[in-house]
Amino acid sequence: MLKAILVCVVVTVAASVASGGDDVLKQAVMFYASFDTDLMPDVGVGPIKTRYGDPKDPKTFIFEDGFSKKVYKIAKSGVVGGCLDAKGVLKDRGRFFYPVKGNLAFKKGGWGGACSMWINMDPQALKLPFCDPVQITQKGANNGGIWFDFNDSKPRDLRMGVFPAVPEGKTGAKESDINAPMVWVRRVAFRSGEWRHVVLSWDNFDTGKPNAIATLYIDGRKIGDVKDRAIAMDWDVDQAGIYTAVGYTGLLDEMACFRRALTADEVTMLYRTPGLLQSLKRK
């Protein structure tokens, strides 16, 4: 009888700890898009806008309200409920985005965050040389950018990049540099029909000190990190965007951004319980 009581107590305590962990994790959510019925966030702010490159001047961008409903649809076959279904790619380097302001805790002097999502796609079937399921930036991927992408190698690699802002008149690091702030997964073996969980987590950005860290997780497992560097996004937060499904074709679901870096245990919770944040859905 005593053994049974002890087992019951252990199970009860474990469940309580897990529940508390769920609550703490949910409180850290700043942005959450379930994609169950539409592209608007359940937690966080809009509006959704689309950015195009000006075909007459590659350095100029054209912004439009909304997004292409012909390219971006809602499918019923999400990892939980519905999901974003990217049917194709936009012309002129087009990509839709949510604002950084109100959806991430960016702060000059030091900040952290994380981005989590589920993807279901075939990297080898992508239509463009490069594809970023998420790219958070103001000026570009290599100039104050947090992202993961699939590159143009055959078969493709998956890469996380956290490139600091480049001062005016200076040249930033190239992705080919051996010391570029990146984590690589060579010859990534994702397949259409399989849901994969990806998390980017970072801390101590914009501190001015070489103490930044950014970690890539796939399916709950730590892949690698960039650390012991001074990494500053240096955004004008009113101009920065969470660019989503850039050059991406496939399914994307349960996208969330957090006001702080996540622990390894929190990443595991998100992976093991795909619908963990569904209680945050707007009514």
Domains and CATH numbers, the chain: 30-280 (2.60.120.200)
**What is the signed CA dihedral for 207, 212, 216, 221, rounded to 10 degrees?**
-120
Q: What is the per-residue pLDDT for 20?
A: 62
Residue type at 275 in one-letter notation: G
Locus of tokens 């960016």: 106
pTM over 0.85: yes
> Residue 216 half-sphere exposure, CB side, CA atoms within 13 Å?
19
Could you list the pLDDT tens digit for every one of the 283 residues in the chain? 434 433 343 333 334 334 467 999 999 999 999 999 999 999 999 999 999 999 889 789 999 999 999 999 999 999 999 999 999 999 999 999 999 999 999 999 999 999 999 999 999 999 999 999 999 999 999 999 999 999 999 999 999 999 999 998 888 889 999 999 999 999 999 999 999 999 999 999 999 999 999 999 999 999 999 999 999 999 999 999 999 999 999 999 999 999 999 999 999 999 999 999 999 998 7
Q: What is the per-residue pLDDT for 144?
A: 98
Angle between helices 2-27 and 264-272 in degrees, nearest 10 = 100
Identify each DSSP E strand in the chain by its residue range: 29-33, 49-54, 57-65, 72-75, 83-86, 95-99, 111-120, 131-140, 143-150, 158-163, 182-185, 196-205, 212-218, 221-229, 241-246, 250-258
Q: What is the per-residue pLDDT for 168?
A: 87
